[in-house]
Amino acid sequence: MSEDLLEAASIDGANGWSIFRRIILPLLRPTSLFVIVVLIINSLQAFDQIYVLTRGGPAYATDTLLMYVYEEAFRFWDFGYSAAMSFVLFILIMLITIFQIRFFRSDAES
């Protein structure tokens, strides 16, 4: 971030909150979008930590969609159903990502 923007804002009489809200946050918007999208994708694809620690937990308390896909494929040998659920997970991740990108863009335009 350029110090010129902060200096110009302070010369124009902006206080600390105004500088943060009107200059710093909009400049952080692309980075924030990337981080949020990656974190949500990563949380929807959580498998290895849950499998190693709890294998779904007591009474399936820590099951995720990916754990269910794995069980259907390699415990019950139903690869077709597992592939269909994987495709649904892909569509879900894609829709959430598109929604987040549109939400961040509409914030920037207003």
pLDDT at 91: 95
Work out the pLDDT band at 16, boundaries 50, 70, 90.
confident
pLDDT in tens, 31-55: 988 999 999 988 888 888 888 888 8
Whether 99 is in a domain gets the answer yes
pLDDT in tens, 57-108: 888 888 888 889 999 999 999 999 999 999 999 999 999 999 988 888 765 5
Whether 72 is in a domain gets the answer yes
Q: Are 92 and 44 in contact (CB under 8 A)?
A: yes
Whether 45 is in a domain gets the answer yes
Does the structure show a pLDDT above 80 at 109?
A: no
- Into how many domains does the chain fold? 1
Residue 62 has which token pair? 């820590």
Does the structure show a pLDDT above 80 at 11?
A: yes
pLDDT at 108: 53
Domain that holds residue 102: 29-109
pLDDT at 107: 57
* CA atoms of 87 and 94, how far apart (whole Å): 10
pTM for this entry: 0.71
Whether 5 is in a domain gets the answer no
Residue 21 has which token pair? 């809200």
